[in-house]
Amino acid sequence: MVLMGACRLCGKKANTVSDVIGFCVDCIRNRFEVVWPGIKRVHDESRRAYGLPADPPRSTEGIPCPICSHRCRIPEGGRGYCGLRRTEDGRIKGGRPHEGNLSMYHDALPTNCVGDFVCPGGTGCGYPRYAVTKGAEYGYRNLAVFYQACAYNCLYCQNFHFKGETLSEGQVRARELAAAVDDRTTCICYFGGDPGPQILHALKASELALGKASGRVLRICWETNGCVREPYLSMMAELSLRTGGCIKVDLKAWDAKVHRALCGVSNEGTLDHFRSLSTKISQRPSPPFLIASTLLVPGYVDDQEVARIAEFIAELDPDIPYSLLAFYPQFCLTDLPTTSRGHALRCKEIAEKAGLRRVRIGNVHCLGQAY
C-alpha cells in the first residue's frame, strides 16, 4: 500500500515523496549538501545487509581494478564496490572467464527485452544477415544471462534478489555458458545485475559461442548501466556491431545529484560512455546498435529529468531508440506508487519534442491508471 510521504526539509507532502529517501526531488536538486548525508545512510544500510562495501575502495596499497568508472583500488582481503571483484594473494579475483556468477535460461522470441521494438529478434530487422525471419523470430529463442553483481546501488532495483548471491563463488565457466547455445538460439543477452563486473567472462563466452555458431545468426546484446571502461566498452561494441546485436544503456537520471540519490554513485562515466558509443552508430545504422532506456521513478525521474536525457540523446543522434519503462515498487522504494499512465505519456511526448524519432513506452502492463 502506497502512503503519503513528506519531505523532511521543505515539508512537501505527496505519494511520490519517499519516506525511505526522506526528501523530494527539488530539495535533492537544490539542497543536496543538506540532504545527502541522510540519503547516504540509506544506501549504506542497504548494502551492509548484503555484505557489500559502502563506497568504492581507494586503498593506496590496493590493486587497481580496470573494469568500471569507479576505479576501485582493492586492498588485500577487500572487495570492489560491485562486491564481486576482490583481492586475494595480491591478485584480483572474481569475474574472470572461469568464474561466472550467474543464472541463465532460454527465453522464447520475441521477448520483452528493452529493444524488442527495433531489434532483429522482435521485428526481423536486418534479415537475412542479422535475423532468421522477415518478421519476429517466432520459434527461436534468446539465451538470457543474468549476472549476479552490479556497480550501482539503485534503491529501486527491479531485480534486487541477485544481491544475495553477489558474494558467492562463480561456478559457470565461459565454455559452459557457450555450450548452452543451441541451433534455435539466435541471440545472447547479458544483463543482471549488470554484465560490467563480469565483462571478462562475457567476452570470452561470446567468442566461444560465436565460434560454435559460425555461419549462422547469433546476436550478442547487452543491457547495462554503461559503467564499463575502455578497452572493454569497445570490445562489447565490436561484438554487437559484428553480430547484429545491440547495447541497451539505462540512463537512470540526468541530474548528477538525483542520480547519486537514487543509485548511490555518479553518472558521469555512463554519460561519457554513451556518448562514445554513439560515435559507432554509423558503422551499422540498421539494425539499431545503441538503445537508451529510463525507468520512470515517480516523483524523482520526472519531466525535467526525461527532457534533459532526451535532449542529450537527440544531440548525439535523433534516431537512437529510447524506451521509457514503468516503475514497480521494489527493494528499498516500496513506498512509491507505480508509474502513472499520465506520467508515461507525458514523458513520451517530452522526449519526442526534444527531437527523438523512436520513443516507446515499455512494460505498459505495469502502468497505474492515475494521471
Reference 263, options 95, 150, 162; nearest CA is 150
Angle between helix 232-243 and helix 268-278 axes, rounded to 10 deg = 40
What is the residue whose three cell numbers read 545529484? 257
Q: What is the pLDDT, as a whole number, of residue 12?
A: 95
Inside any domain, residue 307: yes
Omega before residue 128 within 30° of 0, cis: yes
Neighbouring residues of 176: CB distance < 8 A, sequence distance ≥ 6: 100
Beta pairing, strands 102-108 & 141-147: antiparallel
Cα separation, 233 vs 362, in Å, equals 26
Cα separation, 7 vs 17, in Å, equals 7
Phi and psi dihedrals of 190, rounded to 5?
A: -95, 125
Give the Å distances, CA to CA, from 161 to 83, 102, 144, 334: 14, 12, 17, 14
Cα separation, 150 vs 180, in Å, equals 23
**Three-class HEC string of 115-146:** CCCCCHHHHCCCCCCCCCCCCCCCCCEEEEEE
Inside any domain, residue 120: yes
Inside any domain, residue 39: no
Inside any domain, residue 289: yes
| β-bridge mates for residue 324, sequence order | 294, 361
Q: What is the pLDDT, as a whole number, of residue 1?
A: 54
Inside any domain, residue 361: yes
Domain residue limits at 259: 102-366
Inter-residue contact 367 to 342 (CB < 8 Å):
no
Omega before residue 231 within 30° of 0, cis: yes
Cα separation, 13 vs 29, in Å, equals 17
Cell digits of residue 152: 550501482
Inside any domain, residue 75: no
Structural domains of the chain, count? 1
Q: What is the pLDDT, as a whole number, of residue 370?
A: 57
Amino acid at 251: L
What is the residue whose three cell numbers read 532460454? 106
CATH number at residue 286: 3.20.20.70
Inside any domain, residue 181: yes
What is the residue whose three cell numbers read 540526468? 254
Amino acid at 226: G
| β-bridge mates for residue 13, sequence order | 6
Residue 355: other Cβ atoms inside 10 A: 14
Inside any domain, residue 82: no
Task: Note down pLDDT in tens along the chain; length 371 residues.
Answer: 566 899 999 999 999 999 999 999 999 999 999 999 999 999 999 999 999 999 999 999 999 999 999 999 999 999 999 999 999 999 999 999 999 999 999 999 999 888 999 999 999 999 999 999 999 999 999 999 999 999 999 999 999 999 999 999 888 999 999 999 999 999 999 999 999 999 999 999 999 999 999 999 999 999 999 999 999 999 999 999 999 999 999 999 999 999 999 999 999 999 999 999 999 999 999 999 999 999 999 999 999 999 999 999 999 999 999 999 999 999 999 999 999 999 999 999 999 999 999 999 988 877 876 54
Q: What is the pLDDT, as a whole number, of residue 365?
A: 77
